Structure 1
C-alpha cells in the first residue's frame, strides 16, 4: 500500500486499539526527546500507552526499525529483565507498535534536569549494575533477527568510522587514541544480548528500583564489557565539563563492576580498554552532533558547549590506555 493511501497514524492506532482491545483513544500527543522514529503518548479509556512509529517516508532500518524493537521487547516479556509490555504491533508501512506507559523517572544524574538527589542517584546506579547480568543471561540464540555477533574489534571498527567522519579539529587527539586501542584489542568473551545504550537515562525507575528498560533501537549480540564500559562513562560528571554536573557520592567504576559481577574483584578482564572505548564512543557521537550543527544540518546552539567534553573524553581515555602500557 502506498503512503498516500495509508490512513494517518493517529487514525490507524485508534482503529487498531478499538478493534483489538475495545479501547477508545482520548489523547494522542508527541513525546519529546526521542531520537529513533516518532514517539507518542496515547491515552485511552482503559489505560495509557507509548506508540513508536517509523516516520512517514523513512525506511524501516536501523533506529527506525520498529518491528525489530517490538520483537526484542516481546522476546523479553517472559524473562526477569524489566521491560514495558507490548500491547499491539502493526507491521503495515509505516510500521508502529504500542507498549504500556510505565510510571517512573528516567534521568541521567550527571546530565539531565531536574537533578537527582545524590543518594538516590547512587542507589539507582548500583541497582542498574546489579540487574544488568539478568539481560546478559538471556539466551540470545532464541531471539529472532539478532544479526551477527559483534566482537571488540568489530565495535572498534564501527566507532573508528564514526570518529573519522568528524572533522579532525573537532576530535583532536582521536587518532592517537584509536592507535592505542587498536594496538591491544582484547579477545572476546562469550557473546550476550546487549541493549546498546544502557544507562540511567534509558531506565525508568520507581524510587531506586529499575522498573523498565527502554529505547531498544540499537540492541545487538556482543561483548558484555562493551555495555559495561559505556555505562561507566555516565558515572563520572567530570567527563562532561560544560554540559553536565558532578554528583557527590556516585559509585566508582570499580564499585559498579563489582556490583555487576557480584564479587569484590573486577571479575572481568581488560575493563580499562572497554572504559576507554566507551569514552571514544561518546566523543565520536558528540563530534558528529557538533558537525551537523555547524554544517547547518541540525541547528542547535547547545552543541557549541560540546568541545570541552569531547576533549575531556579523548584525553581521559588516552590516559587510561597509556596506563596499560
Structure 2
C-alpha cells in the first residue's frame, strides 16, 4: 500500500497519544518512517523521546490501514507468540505494547527496534556478516529446537494439520490455479505416497522461519521475525522450509538459507532437543516446502491479473518455473 501524507499524519498522531503506554517517561515521538519490509502488514519505525532527552527506536507492526484483516494468526496472537518465544530463549524483539481499540490506531503492536540485516541477498554475501555465516546454520538449528519447546497447548486458536492433510491443501491450491504443471502433479503424488505419519508430539511451528525473516548481525541471529503463519504440527516442517532453494538467494550450494549446510542445522537442533532427527523425514519436508512455495508463486498469477498488479506479485509469479526445477532435483535425490 502506498504511503500517503494523511496516513503518516494519522499514525504519528496515534503514536503521540499512546507514547506513555510504550515508555512511561515518554514525552512524544519523532522520526516516523514507513519501512519497505512486510508483504502483508504495515511496518513503521519511530523514536520515543523522553524528558531526559533520551530516544529509543521502536517498530509498529500494524494491519493494512489499521483494520484490514489478512491471512495468518492475527497481530494480537502474534505478539503473544513472540512473548512466549522469549521465555524459552528464542531471540525476538521485545513487545512493548499491543494496540487496543481505545488507542485509535487499529490492530497491531509495538516492539523494540532490533539493529541488523534482514535482506537475504545481503545476509549471504555481505563481508561484515562473514563470521556470522560460519555458525549461523547451527545457531538456527538451536533456535528452532527452543522454539518448538513453546507449549502448543497455550495457543488453542492455532490451526492444526497432519502431513497428509497439508499435501491435500496444496493439491487444492494448485488445482485452483489456471495452468496445469506436470511437475507439480508428480511432486504431489510423491508427497502423498511418502507422507510421514502425524507427529507423536505436535509442536508449535513458526511456519515461515527462513532467510529473509531473520534479523542477522555480525554476532549472529538477533531476532526471529514474522510469526503470522504459526500453527501446530510437525516441527520438521520448519527445518525443511529454511532449506527451500528460493531462500538461498543464489547460493544454491548452501542448503540452509544460502549460508550453511544441512548437517550443521540438524546438529544444532539435536544438541538442544537431545533427539536424533529422521533425515528422510527432513527431506520430505524440503519437498513439501518447495511445492508450498511453488503453489504460492503459481497463485500469484491470478493475483497480479486481479487486485494486486504490483511488480512484487509479478516477480513471485515468474518464479514458479524455478520451483519445478527444484522439485525434480529433490525427488531424484
TM range (shorter): 0.7 to 0.9
Query: Where do 4+ consecutive residues of structure 1 move more than 6 Å?
Result: none
**Are residues 219 and 236 of structure 1, via their aligned partners in 2, closer, same or farther at CA, if it must alter by over 3 Å?**
closer
Residues 303 and 313 of structure 2 are in contact (CA less than 8 Å); yes or no, is this contact kept in structure 1? Answer: no
Instruction: Report the counterpart of residue 77 of structure 2 in structure 1.
Output: 68
**Are residues 122 and 312 of structure 1, via their aligned partners in 2, closer, same or farther at CA, if it must alter by over 3 Å?**
farther
Within the alignment, does 1:245 sit opposite 2:247 as a pair? Answer: no
For residue 276 of structure 1, report the CA deviation from its aligned partner. Answer: 0.5
Within the alignment, does 1:299 sit opposite 2:310 as a pair? Answer: yes
**Are residues 122 and 278 of structure 1, via their aligned partners in 2, closer, same or farther at CA, if it must alter by over 3 Å?**
farther
**In structure 2, distance between residues paired with 1:150 and 1:77:** 25
The number of residues matched between the two structures is 306
**Any unmatched runs of 5+ in structure 1?**
1-6, 238-243
Residues 147 and 221 of structure 1 are in contact (CA less than 8 Å); yes or no, is this contact kept in structure 2? Answer: yes
Instruction: Report the counterpart of residue 186 of structure 2 in structure 1.
Output: 176
For residue 173 of structure 1, report the CA deviation from its aligned partner. Answer: 1.9
Q: Which residue of 43, 46, 50 corresponds with 1:42? A: 46
Instruction: Give TM-score scaled by structure 2 length.
Output: 0.80
Instruction: Give TM-score scaled by structure 1 length.
Output: 0.81
Residues 254 and 266 of structure 1 are in contact (CA less than 8 Å); yes or no, is this contact kept in structure 2? Answer: no
Within the alignment, does 1:201 sit opposite 2:212 as a pair? Answer: yes
Which secondary structure state, in structure 2, belongs to the residue aligned with residue 156 of structure 1? helix
Residues 93 and 114 of structure 2 are in contact (CA less than 8 Å); yes or no, is this contact kept in structure 1? Answer: yes
Residues 124 and 133 of structure 2 are in contact (CA less than 8 Å); yes or no, is this contact kept in structure 1? Answer: no
**Any unmatched runs of 5+ in structure 2?**
1-8, 50-54
Q: Alpha-carbon deviations, 1:152-177, whole Å to 9, x = none?
A: 123223322332222225x4521221
For residue 322 of structure 1, report the CA deviation from its aligned partner. Answer: 5.1
**In structure 2, distance between residues paired with 1:114 and 1:55:** 30
Q: Alpha-carbon deviations, 1:198-256, whole Å to 9, x = none?
A: 0131111221421211111111111111111111114874xxxxxx4226664333443
Instruction: Report the counterpart of residue 25 of structure 2 in structure 1.
Output: 22
**In structure 2, distance between residues paired with 1:295 and 1:60:** 18
**Are residues 128 and 260 of structure 1, via their aligned partners in 2, closer, same or farther at CA, if it must alter by over 3 Å?**
same
Instruction: Report the counterpart of residue 10 of structure 1 in structure 2.
Output: 12
